[in-house]
Amino acid sequence: MLPELDEVSAPYWTGGAVGELRIAHCGSCRSYLHPPRGACPDCDAALEFRTVSGNGTLFTFTVNYQQFHPDVPTPFVIALVELDEQPGLRVATNIVDCDPAAVVSGMPVRVRFEEHGEVFVPVFAPARPLT
Ligand SMILES: [Zn+2]
């Protein structure tokens, strides 16, 4: 279930060690890109990572009841979260710390990190208590 750390994506998976969500950014286009890649697909410039707020909105989600791995309890929520920094900047992630039945698209979420050795997986929890 854990990502392969490579040179291109490592800042995304390790920023949580210091509580930071880091997203690749093109200085020429002044835009964020995710998932990270070696160069900007629009202008070919090198990308650098910037620390973002960690705030976003749940764009869409699915609740998974199928057990893929004995260490991952079900049900769990697989989601696309749109980050506040830029329209369309979406991160594939999990929604945690809430009842999956109470999750709704459009709800505000905030990042937190699940530590697995050197990897800090960015996941999101409701920004406000769910009613
Ligand atoms: Zn660019």
- Cis before 35? omega within 30: yes
Question: Is the per-residue pLDDT at 4 higher than 70?
Answer: yes
Q: Side chain identity at 76, as an amino acid letter?
A: F
The predicted pLDDT at position 53 comes to 98
The predicted pLDDT at position 1 comes to 62
- When pLDDT is averaged across residues 12-17 and rounded to a whole number, the result is 97
- Domain boundaries along the sequence of the chain: 10-124
Q: What is the pLDDT of residues 77-124, one digit of tens each?
A: 999 999 999 999 999 999 999 999 999 999 999 999 999 999 999 999
Q: How many angstroms does the Cα of residue 95 sit away from the middle of ligand 1?
A: 30
- When pLDDT is averaged across residues 10-33 and rounded to a whole number, the result is 97
Distance CA 92, CA 3 (A): 12
H-type helices in the chain, by residue range? 10-14
Select from 57, 92, 88 the least CA-distant residue to 77: 92
The predicted pLDDT at position 2 comes to 73
Q: How many angstroms does the Cα of residue 26 sit away from the middle of ligand 1?
A: 5
Question: Is the per-residue pLDDT at 27 higher than 70?
Answer: yes
Q: What is the pLDDT of residues 28-76, one digit of tens each?
A: 999 999 999 999 999 999 999 999 999 999 999 999 998 888 887 899 9
Enumerate residues with CB within 5 Å of ligand 1 (an ion).
26, 28-29, 40, 42-43, 45
Q: How many angstroms does the Cα of residue 10 sit away from the middle of ligand 1?
A: 20
